[in-house]
Amino acid sequence: MSLQTWIETLVTQHAAGTAFNTYTSAKTVINPQALAVLPAGFFSPGKSVRIRVLGAISNIVTTPGTITFQVMIGSAIAFTSGAIQLNATAHTLLPFDLEIILTCRAEGSGTSANAMGQAKITGVMVTKTAGQTDDAQGDQTIMAPATAPAVGAGFDSTIANILDFWTGFSISNAGNGVTVHQYVVEALN
């Protein structure tokens, strides 16, 4: 039996974002107008959103470190990719494509609500091993997290929350950076 649901675009980023580099602690990397305000009661068990991020990543050579992607709901880290290894070839603003599916597992007040997310990222700069350099075949696709998926930090689904997208690097360097060119959040049901 059909659930009679539709996909709805909640927010898009209207212009290319700022180039962020020389930092380690995760922070928002989307334009302020692209913050999605989710009303109270938006999340209930089974409610899913798809977050699509297209942009560019730069990384340094030899020991580039890692990049981490996070979806924030309010102040809670609802999803983290975990540390994704950048490969040992220097890159300057090469394209990446990240898709995250986030599904509510529990609702409630305080920190009772939570969600589980899984993602895939495609780009020439990501790898599963620290020493790997660019593959002759081009882009790599990495599933995230690289461990068993788990629910994220709890949040309050009975109040309005801001959904935000953050990144962080393990090594602060002017050559490690990210720019978000396109960002879309869709409610899937």
pLDDT of residue 19: 95
pLDDT of residue 5: 79
Mean pLDDT score across all residues of the chain = 93
Mean pLDDT in residue range 47-58 = 97
Residues of 54-83 as b/e, b for ≥16 C-beta within 10 angstroms? bbbbbbbeeebbbbbbbbbbbebebbbbeb
Residue 144 in tokens = 């995230």
Residue 95: CB partners within 8 Å, gap ≥ 6? 54, 55, 56, 123
DSSP string computed for the chain: -------EEEEE--S----EES--S-EE-S-GGG-EEEPTT---TT-EEEEEEEEEEEE-SSS--EEEEEEEETTEEEEE---EEBPSS-EEEEEEEEEEEEEEEE--TTTTBEEEEEEEEEETTB-SSTT---BTTB-EEEEESSS---B---B-TTS-EEEEEEEEESS--TTSEEEEEEEEEEE--
Mean pLDDT in residue range 22-36 = 96
pLDDT of residue 132: 59
Q: Are 146 and 82 in contact (CB under 8 A)?
A: yes
pLDDT in tens, 55-97: 999 999 888 899 999 999 999 999 999 999 998 889 999 999 9
Task: Please state which of the ranges 35-39, 118-122, 144-148, 150-154 shows the lowest mean pLDDT.
Answer: 144-148
Question: Global pTM?
Answer: 0.93
pLDDT of residue 146: 87
pLDDT in tens, 102-139: 999 999 999 999 999 999 999 999 887 655 566 555 68
Q: Where are the domains of the chain?
A: 8-187
Cα–Cα distance, 35 to 61 (Å, whole number): 33
